[in-house]
Structure 1
Amino acid sequence: GGRRMSAEAVGPPADTVIVTVIKAEGVLAKDKGGTSDPFAEVKIGRQSHKTSAIPKTVNPVWNETFTLDINTPGSVLEIVLFDQDKGMIMSGSEFLGSVEVQIDSLNVGVPIEDWHTLQWNRKYQKKQEKVTGRVMLRIEAKCSTEGMSTDEVDELKKVPKPVRDVKKAEQLVEKGFGTLEVTVISAERLMAADRGGTSDPYVELVVGGKKMG
């Protein structure tokens, strides 16, 4: 028998995707003047970002970039185009077409810029109507821990847990691991610096020799 080949993932999986909605062409004209006011919605699960609406065109140019988190394997990136709601008369923005991209199909760190044909999608338009046009996207899946050593990745994973050692926390922040959140709870037996036998205490936070706030 022949030798079986198995595909193995190279490097860590992507945890973010950067999407640039560049432009679209030939989208459906929904308005009386033979144009639309198109905008795009970029979605992964419950995450959603919108481009600006480009007035009176069927060939909108956006060049707007969004970053979304990849929370679960098998995530689907959706780009949905709408004709912007005109106000009181319209019942809502009208569907112009959508594109779905499987995140797992992307190679980490390799941006892909290409045209995608707009399709009808039942989620956004119950009764199927004509969909025309295409949208140009630049998509790149990225891994925020790429280039880090195993030890550094392990440290990064620990950061969300409270660190009680102040020096340890300071070292992690200086290395760029996450953010430092400090809760000043209370103090006692401070020196009375005022004539009335009290003080007006405040706290200064210094990280890496830099005063915060």
Structure 2
Amino acid sequence: MIDVMFSVIKEGEGKEGEEEEKENFGKLEFTLDYNFTDNQLIVGILQAENLAAMDMGGTSDPYVKVYMLPDKKKKFETKVQRKNLCPVFNETFIFKIPYQELGGQTLVLQVFDFDRFGKHDVIGQISIPMNSVDLAQPLHEWRDLVGGEKEEVEKLGDICISLRYVPTAGKLTINIMEAKHLKAMDCGGLSDPFVKVVLQHQGKRLKKKKTTVKQNTLNPYFNESFSFEIPFGQIQKVQVLITVYDYDKLGSNDAIGKVWIGFGASGVGLRHWSDMLANPRRPVAQWHALCPEEEVDEALKKPLR
């Protein structure tokens, strides 16, 4: 009898332990609506509650990424809400998909914690197989987030840049040397890349320059130099923003990726700048991995010291 009672207690304790181990990632409020006239799936990201804290200070900088599987062709992102575990987004995104093709797709709503200095961590996600939703009427729901896999970072390519500063002349020379393994932006699997160099001082744009366009290549060779006059007293606060674009004759040029070097940068961008300052009058070359343009722009909005 004692043995039986003991086993029952042990079983109950095990269940409690399992419940305690169930992690809470928070929940997300969203809407779904389908416009049959225009073949549009309209996704509303309203707000989140009780998100997991991912930062050291016990908070997070959340944003939501919205995309369809399996193709992942079109991705949307909400704005980042700073230091907020119950953020309000109120943003709407539209996927143009014929109704007959929707059934085989899955909508993913993935909540990330924005990290200026590294990979963005997944807080949690919701996956909605479209064949499980009745789109005859709008859907408005709160759902619990579940643990999500880290999304593989898309490779945008690398760029080699040489920096040289002559303190006595107050002259900064930036040489755009070459790029490799750029993301293909054109239908034929190639791109027409060129590079834009923007010089900023304490966030204020000073000058910008552009390289020539290289046709039909993912591995362009530029070797183009640009010189700027920067007094020695200002060089510590200078930012160099380098964006690789795909030239488009008919529409707007698409950004392939961006690099931030100098004041406020981190990682390779800061180290390259420090190496240049430590070696006056000598050119210092360095390869940089391109980052998404919106990611760099978001990081630049943070106050710098």
TM-score after normalising by structure 2: 0.34
Higher strand share: 2
Find the structure with the greater CA-based Rg: 1
Q: TM-score, normalised by structure 1?
A: 0.48
